[in-house]
Amino acid sequence: MAKLSDPITLLKGVGPARAKQFANLNIFTLRDLICHFPRGYEDRTRLVPIEKLAVDEPACFRAMVMNTPRTSHIRKGLDITKVQVADHTARLTLTFFNNRFAAEQLQYGAEYIFYGAVSGDFIGYNMTNPVFEPLDSRPVTTRRVLPIYPLTAGLSNAAVLKAVSQALAICDPPAEILPEPVRQRYGILPAERAYTAIHAPASMAEAELAKKRLVFEEFFVFSAGLSLMRAARAEKRTEAYPNLDMRPFYGVLPFTLTQAQKRAVEDILLDFGKGVPMNRLVQGDVGSGKTMVAAAAIYCAAGNHKQSALMAPTEILAEQHYESLRKLLAPLGIPVALLTGSQTAKQKRTVREQIGSGEVQVVVGTHALLTEDTQFQDLGLVVADEQHRFGVGQRSKLSAKGESPHLLVMSATPIPRTLALLMYGDLDVSILDELPPGREAVDTFLVGESYRPRINAFIRKQVSEGHQCFVVCPAVEENEELGLKAATVWAETLQKTVFPDLRIALLHGQMKGAEKEAAMASFARGEADVMVATTVIEVGVDVPNATLMVIEDADRFGLSQLHQLRGRVGRGKAKSYCILTSHNRNPETLQRLKALCKTTDGFKIAEEDLKLRGPGDFFGSRQSGLPAFRVADLSFDLATLKEAQAASAEWIDTYGTSDAPEAAALRERIGELFQRAEGTMN
**By the criterion CB under 6 A, which residues form the site for ligand ADP?**
255, 257-258, 261, 284, 286-292, 412, 436, 540, 542, 544, 571
Closest to ligand ADP by CB, 58 vs 436, is 436
Q: Smallest gap, in angstroms, from Cβ of residue 286 to ligand ADP?
A: 4
Shortest CB 284 distance to Mg ion, Å: 9
CA distance linking residue 591 with residue 585, whole number of Å: 10
Cα–Cα nearest to 285, from 537, 566, 544, 534: 566
- Chosen from ligand ADP, Mg ion, none, partner binding at 284 (C-beta under 5 to 8 Å by type): ligand ADP
- Comparison of 33 and 292: residue with beta carbon closer to ligand ADP: 292
Q: Which residues contact 397 (CB under 8 A, 6 or more apart)?
A: 370
Say if residues 382 and 359 touch (Cβ distance below 8 Å).
Answer: no
The least CB distance from residue 542 to Mg ion, in Å, is 8
Tell the smallest beta-carbon distance from residue 595 to ligand ADP (Å). Answer: 21
Nearer to ligand ADP by Cβ, of 261 and 462: the residue is 261
Q: Which does 81 bind (CB under 5 to 8 A by kind): Mg ion, ligand ADP, none?
A: none
Nearer to ligand ADP, 141 or 561 (CB): 561
Task: Identify what 563 binds: Mg ion, ligand ADP, none; CB under 5 to 8 Å per kind.
Answer: none
Q: Are 258 and 289 in contact (CB under 8 A)?
A: yes
> Is residue 384 a contact partner of residue 362, using CB atoms and an 8 Å limit?
no
In the complex, least distance from residue 291 CB atom to Mg ion, rounded to whole angstroms: 5
Q: Could you tell which of Mg ion, ligand ADP, none binds residue 85, using a CB distance below 5 to 8 A set by kind?
A: none
Least distance between Mg ion and beta carbon 166 (Å): 54
Closest separation in Å from C-beta 265 to ligand ADP: 11
- Residue closer to ligand ADP (CB basis): 402 or 414: 414
Q: Taking the complex as a whole, how short is the minimal distance between the CB of residue 196 and ligand ADP, in angstroms? A: 51
| HEC-encoded secondary structure of 539-592 | CCCCCCCEEEEEECCHHHCCHHHHHHHHCCCCCCCCCCEEEEECCCCCHHHHHH
Strand partners, 80: 72, 97
Backbone φ and ψ for 162, nearest 5 degrees, come out as -65, -45
> Residue 287 binds which entry of Mg ion, ligand ADP, none, with Cβ cut-offs from 5 to 8 Å by kind?
ligand ADP
Q: How far is the CB of 540 from ligand ADP (least distance, A)?
A: 6
The Cα 380–Cα 552 span in angstroms is 44
Q: Which residue is nearest to ligand ADP (CB)?
A: 289
Least Å from the CB of residue 410 to Mg ion: 7
201 binds Mg ion (CB under 5 A): no
Q: Shortest CA distance to 672 belongs to which of 2, 1, 3, 4?
A: 4
Which single residue brings its beta carbon nearest to Mg ion?
Answer: 540
- Per-residue string for binding with Mg ion, 276-295, x by CB under 5 A? --------------x-----
Rounded to a whole number of angstroms, the minimum distance from the CB of residue 385 to Mg ion is 6
| Cβ atoms 570, 544 nearer than 8 A | no
Residue placing its CB nearer to ligand ADP in the complex, 250 or 458: 250
Q: Cβ of 59: how many Cβ atoms within 10 Å?
A: 21
**Closest Cα partner for 494 from 515, 475, 470, 510?**
470
Q: Which is nearer to ligand ADP, 139 or 544 (by Cβ)?
A: 544
Select the binding partner of residue 570 from ligand ADP, Mg ion, none (C-beta < 5 to 8 A, by kind): none
The Cα–Cα gap between 421 and 292 comes to 25
Identify which of residues 285 and 529 has a Cβ nearer to Mg ion in the complex.
285
Least separation in angstroms between CB 286 and Mg ion: 7
Question: What Cα–Cα distance (Å) separates residue 524 from each residue in 98, 141, 320, 570?
Answer: 67, 66, 10, 14
Name the binder of 255 from Mg ion, ligand ADP, none, CB < 5-8 A by kind: ligand ADP
> Number of residues in contact with Mg ion, rule: CB under 5 A?
2
Q: Does 540 bind Mg ion (CB under 5 A)?
A: yes
Within 290-329, the residues that bind Mg ion by CB under 5 A are: 290
Complex with Mg ion: residue 174 or 540, whichever CB lies closer: 540
Residue 76 sits at the vertex; the CA angle it makes with 70 and 77, to the nearest 5 degrees, is 75
Q: What dihedral do alpha carbons 100, 103, 104, 107 form, nearest 10°?
A: -170
Taking the least distance from each CB to ligand ADP, the nearer of 125 and 250 is 250
- DSSP classification of residue 526: T
DSSP lists the bridge partners of residue 147 as 41
- Nearest to Mg ion of 290, 367 (CB atom): 290
Residue 479 per-residue DSSP state: B
Residue nearer to ligand ADP on the CB measure, 570 or 627? 570
Q: 650 burial class (0-12, 13-18, 19+ CB within 10 angstroms)?
A: middle
| Binding site partner of 537, from Mg ion, ligand ADP, none, Cβ cut-off 5-8 A by kind | none
Q: 569 is in the binding site of which of ligand ADP, Mg ion, none (Cβ under 5 to 8 A by kind)? A: none
Could you tell me the smallest distance in angstroms from the CB atom of residue 567 to ligand ADP?
6
Residue 544 interface partner, choices ligand ADP, Mg ion, none, CB cut-off 5-8 Å depending on type? ligand ADP
Task: Kindly report the number of other CB atoms within 10 A of residue 246's CB atom.
Answer: 17
Q: Which does 97 bind (CB under 5 to 8 A by kind): Mg ion, ligand ADP, none?
A: none
CB of 285 to ligand ADP, least distance (A): 7
Using alpha carbons, list the distances in angstroms from residue 498 to 447, 457, 466, 491, 495: 19, 10, 18, 10, 6
Long-range CB contacts (< 8 A, 24+ apart) of 606-615? 606/413, 606/414, 606/415, 606/416, 606/559, 606/560, 606/563, 607/416, 608/559, 609/558, 609/559, 609/560, 610/416, 610/419, 610/635, 612/559, 612/588, 613/558, 613/559, 615/419
Binds 297: which of Mg ion, ligand ADP, none (CB < 5-8 Å by kind) = none
Q: Closest CB to ligand ADP among 177 and 293?
A: 293
> Which is nearer to ligand ADP, 41 or 523 (by Cβ)?
523
Q: CA 314, CA 339: separation in Å to the nearest integer?
A: 12
C-alpha 368: how far from its chain's center? 23
**List of residues 6+ apart from 29 with CB closer than 8 A:** 4, 5, 6, 7, 8
Would you tell me which residues interact with Mg ion (CB under 5 A)? 290, 540
